[in-house]
């Protein structure tokens, strides 16, 4: 009798994703070479373009997750505490490798396909003809390869879900030094960002006077936020290039996919004959030595939250005082075609559903981290928030939080100390000191935003959809100026539209984000 041993399971699960991925890449190359030089009857059953398509998708999968990396930036390291996920990926990679190698055996002539091998003597001619039409091995292998790739992509969407992208604390200190002037490029952007926000805010305040004693704390905060967003985009691009840095070079193929956005040029669409998915991975390879990057740990508990997440819960459209929303760039063409795509901003591989309607709007605003605190005395004035829900939660808990006695609900206290003092004065005979603690903790409330004047444009309420919605529109409108302009211009140039008019780029060419690789 055999017994299940946990040690055996762990040993199997800890097989290297990197090793299996490299084997699959090599097998894909060999299969493509054999198809190119092989028999026409084989290419009819297993089209070369179809295999090159899946090869390109696999290279993008590897590059986006760091599957062939080693050390702290590897997918193996990221999944170090998720044995089940790691085991599932290794299992799929082994299945993929097996199907590719069996295809190589047939196409190379080392063995006959199943349908041409010896059949049982008692099989009728009708059964033979039926199986010959439905059980052709190369057709079956291609179907398996496509299915396994779909499963790998589904797992990648969970592992690198952009809704849970973390922002390293060191990012605020990130620098990009110009090799000639030795000046931090972000310092130049900080000046132009301040100028742009000052112009935008001044325009929004036209015809309105500032409140008495007003100190404009919000304009420099908004400008600094845009400079920080630029650092985010640059950091994410650098991170993506590192993850793809160990992909082996492959020969160019002739398949055309139209899927995703190239990491190297952030959105520039080319027309050469190389498979576009493969181009994305090759463009992402660094041409200089990059510092080591550390992969974040995969959190399995996030899967359910991802599946249950509601777009409408935090993406209702924010409108300005005239009822207009902020226009955002359109999604990549691949998303509009119903294909998975690499987001040109966060450079994360995304399912097609993220590129449609409100989901795309949520995704872009999430990448922008479009929201920040609008109160002057905030202890975290430069903290960016990825959703309106998180932003409102911060303002509620930090600036609109009060304490209230359940027996005297008409009086609000601005601190727990005030409520405790009330308990001592009015309820000392009812509560002991120990009993007061849970009462104080349970007596907090958050009140609606009662500000009657918008701190950005000085408009007076009431606002049609509330001041929170009105402020969200201001924050979104300011944040889009930080989008990598090379992406926006490439997308709209391909469609013959004007990106400056659509997303508010009025000055400063963000040339920093256009990476040229010799």
User: Is 394 inside a domain boundary?
Assistant: yes
pLDDT exceeds 80 at position 247? no
Residue 395 pLDDT:
94
Last residue of a domain, one of 440, 460, 480: 460
Mean pLDDT within 356-373: 92
C-alpha dist (Å) from residue 115 to 127, 196, 217, 380: 12, 69, 76, 68
User: Is 165 inside a domain boundary?
Assistant: no
Helices within 185-299 (DSSP H only)? 185-204, 218-243, 276-283
Residue 215 pLDDT:
92
pLDDT exceeds 70 at position 158? yes
pLDDT exceeds 60 at position 342? yes
Burial of 431 (0-12, 13-18, 19+ CB in 10 A): middle
Mean pLDDT within 391-416: 86
| 145 and 270 inside one domain | no
Mean pLDDT within 408-427: 82
Using CA of residue 301, residue 305, residue 306, residue 308, what is the dihedral sign?
A: positive
**What are the b/e assignments for 492-513, b being 16+ CB within 10 Å?**
beeeeeebeebbbbeebebebb
pLDDT band at 320 (very low <50, low <70, confident <90, very high): confident
Distance of CA 158 to the CA centre of its chain: 11
Residues 342, 157: Cα–Cα separation, whole Å = 11
Nearest residue to 262 (alpha-carbon basis) of 246, 286, 282:
282
Cβ(293)–Cβ(72) under 8 Å? yes
| 359 and 452 inside one domain | no
pLDDT band at 66 (very low <50, low <70, confident <90, very high): confident
| 55 and 153 inside one domain | yes
Cis peptide upstream of residue 462 (ω within 30 degrees of 0)? yes
| 395 and 366 inside one domain | no
pLDDT band at 305 (very low <50, low <70, confident <90, very high): very low
User: Is 154 inside a domain boundary?
Assistant: yes
**What are the b/e assignments for 35-53, b being 16+ CB within 10 Å?**
beebeeebbebbebeebbb
Q: What are phi and psi of 403, to 5 degrees?
A: -120, 140
Mean pLDDT within 92-120: 89
| 399 and 347 inside one domain | no
| 367 and 491 inside one domain | yes
Burial of 300 (0-12, 13-18, 19+ CB in 10 A): middle
CA dihedral of 391, 395, 397, 403, whole degrees rounded to 10? -160
User: Is 298 inside a domain boundary?
Assistant: no
Range name among 122-136, 236-250, 502-516 with the lowest pLDDT average: 502-516
| 212 and 336 inside one domain | yes
- Tokens of residue 263, six digits: 């990491």
Residues 185, 465: Cα–Cα separation, whole Å = 40
Q: Which residue has the tokens 């604390």?
A: 169
Residues 235, 129: Cα–Cα separation, whole Å = 59
- How many other β-carbons are positioned within 10 Å of the β-carbon of residue 313? 11
Nearest residue to 348 (alpha-carbon basis) of 483, 160, 491:
160
Residues 54, 146: Cα–Cα separation, whole Å = 7
Mean pLDDT within 235-251: 68
pLDDT digits (tens, 9 = 90+) for 178-205: 888 888 888 888 999 999 999 999 999 9
User: In sequence order, what E strands does 361-422 have?
Assistant: 371-372, 384-385, 401-405, 408-413
Residues 266, 484: Cα–Cα separation, whole Å = 8
Q: Which residue has the tokens 């005239």?
A: 322
User: Is 337 inside a domain boundary?
Assistant: yes
pLDDT exceeds 60 at position 8? no
Residue 369 pLDDT:
93
User: Is 1 inside a domain boundary?
Assistant: no
Cβ(324)–Cβ(469) under 8 Å? no
| 452 and 480 inside one domain | no
Q: What are phi and psi of 444, to 5 degrees?
A: -90, 145
User: Is 10 inside a domain boundary?
Assistant: yes
Kindly report the average pLDDT of the chain as a whole number. Answer: 76
Range name among 132-136, 260-264, 496-500 with the lowest pLDDT average: 260-264
> In angstroms, what is the C-alpha Rg of the chain?
29
pLDDT digits (tens, 9 = 90+) for 222-239: 999 999 999 989 888 887
| 154 and 232 inside one domain | no
Helices within 343-387 (DSSP H only)? 357-368
Residues 92, 77: Cα–Cα separation, whole Å = 18
Residues 193, 212: Cα–Cα separation, whole Å = 27
Residue 312 pLDDT:
35
Residues 50, 28: Cα–Cα separation, whole Å = 12
- 249 is in which domain, residue-wise? 181-285+318-372+472-513
Q: What share of the chain is helix, strand, coil (3-state, %, to 5)?
A: 55, 5, 40
Determine the angle formed by the axes of helices 137-159 and 83-107, rounding to 10 degrees.
Answer: 160
Residues 208, 29: Cα–Cα separation, whole Å = 66
Residue 238 pLDDT:
82
Q: Which residue has the tokens 């040109």?
A: 344
| 237 and 134 inside one domain | no
- Tokens of residue 159, six digits: 């592992």
Residue 515 pLDDT:
25
Residue 2 pLDDT:
45
DSSP annotation of 342 reads E
| 329 and 477 inside one domain | yes
What is the tally of structural domains in the chain? 3
Model pTM score: 0.61
Residue 427 pLDDT:
83
Mean pLDDT within 100-120: 87
As a whole-number percent, the residues of the chain with pLDDT over 70 amount to 70
User: How would DSSP label each residue in 235-252?
Assistant: HHHHHHHHHTTTPPP---
Q: Which residue has the tokens 């701190």?
A: 455
Q: Are strands 349-350 and 384-385 parallel, antiparallel or unpaired?
A: unpaired
User: Is 174 inside a domain boundary?
Assistant: no
Higher pLDDT, 510 or 427: 427
| 451 and 358 inside one domain | no
Using CA of residue 248, residue 251, residue 252, residue 254, what is the dihedral sign?
A: negative
Helix (H, G, I), strand (E, B) or coil at 386: coil
């Amino acid at each position: 009798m055999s017994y299940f041993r946990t040690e055996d399971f762990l040993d199997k699960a800890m097989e290297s994703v990197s090793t299996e991925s490299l084997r699959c890449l090599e097998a894909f190359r060999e299969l493509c070479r054999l198809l190119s030089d092989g028999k026409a009857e084989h290419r009819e059953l297993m089209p070369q373009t179809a295999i090159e398509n899946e090869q390109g998708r696999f290279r993008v999968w590897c590059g986006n997750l760091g599957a062939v990396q080693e050390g702290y930036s590897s997918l193996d390291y990221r999944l170090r505490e998720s044995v089940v996920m790691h085991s599932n990926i290794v299992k799929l990679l082994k299945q993929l490798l097996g199907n590719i190698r069996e295809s190589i055996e047939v196409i190379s002539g080392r063995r006959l396909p199943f349908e041409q091998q010896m059949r049982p003597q008692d099989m009728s001619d009708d059964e033979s003809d039926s199986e010959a039409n439905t059980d052709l091995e190369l057709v079956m292998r291609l179907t398996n390869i496509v299915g396994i790739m779909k499963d790998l992509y589904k797992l990648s969407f969970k592992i690198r879900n952009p809704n849970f992208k973390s922002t390293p604390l060191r990012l605020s200190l990130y620098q990009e030094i110009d090799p000639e002037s030795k000046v931090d490029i972000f310092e130049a952007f900080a000046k132009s960002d301040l100028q742009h926000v000052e112009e935008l805010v001044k325009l929004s305040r036209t015809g309105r006077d500032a409140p008495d004693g007003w100190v404009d704390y919000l304009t420099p905060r908004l400008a600094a936020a845009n400079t920080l967003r630029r650092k985010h985009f640059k950091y994410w691009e650098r991170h993506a290039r590192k993850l793809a840095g160990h992909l082996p070079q492959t020969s160019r193929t002739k398949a055309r996919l139209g899927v995703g956005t190239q990491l190297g040029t952030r959105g520039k669409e080319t027309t050469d004959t190389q498979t576009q998915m493969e181009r994305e991975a090759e463009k992402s390879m660094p041409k200089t030595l990059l510092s080591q990057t550390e992969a974040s740990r995969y959190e399995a508990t996030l899967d359910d939250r991802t599946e249950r997440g509601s777009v409408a819960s935090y993406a209702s459209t924010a409108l300005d005082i005239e009822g207009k929303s902020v226009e955002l760039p359109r999604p990549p063409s691949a998303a509009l075609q119903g294909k998975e795509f690499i987001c040109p901003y966060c450079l994360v591989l995304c399912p097609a559903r993220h590129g449609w309607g409100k989901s795309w709007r949520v995704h872009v605003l999430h990448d922008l981290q479009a929201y920040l605190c609008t109160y002057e005395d905030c202890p975290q004035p430069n903290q960016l928030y990825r959703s309106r829900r998180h932003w409102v939660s911060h303002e509620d808990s930090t600036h609109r939080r009060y304490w209230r006695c359940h027996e005297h609900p008409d009086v609000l206290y601005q601190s727990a100390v005030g409520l405790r003092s009330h308990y001592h004065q009015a309820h000392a005979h009812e509560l002991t000191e120990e009993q007061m603690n849970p009462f104080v903790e349970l007596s907090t409330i958050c009140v609606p935003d009662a500000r009657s004047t918008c701190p950005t444009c000085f408009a007076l309420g009431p606002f049609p959809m509330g001041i929170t919605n009105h402020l969200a529109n201001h924050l979104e409108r300011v944040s889009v100026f930080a989008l990598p302009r090379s992406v926006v211009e490439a997308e709209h140039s391909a469609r013959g539209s004007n990106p400056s008019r659509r997303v508010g780029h009025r000055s400063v060419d963000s040339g920093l984000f256009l990476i040229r690789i010799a």
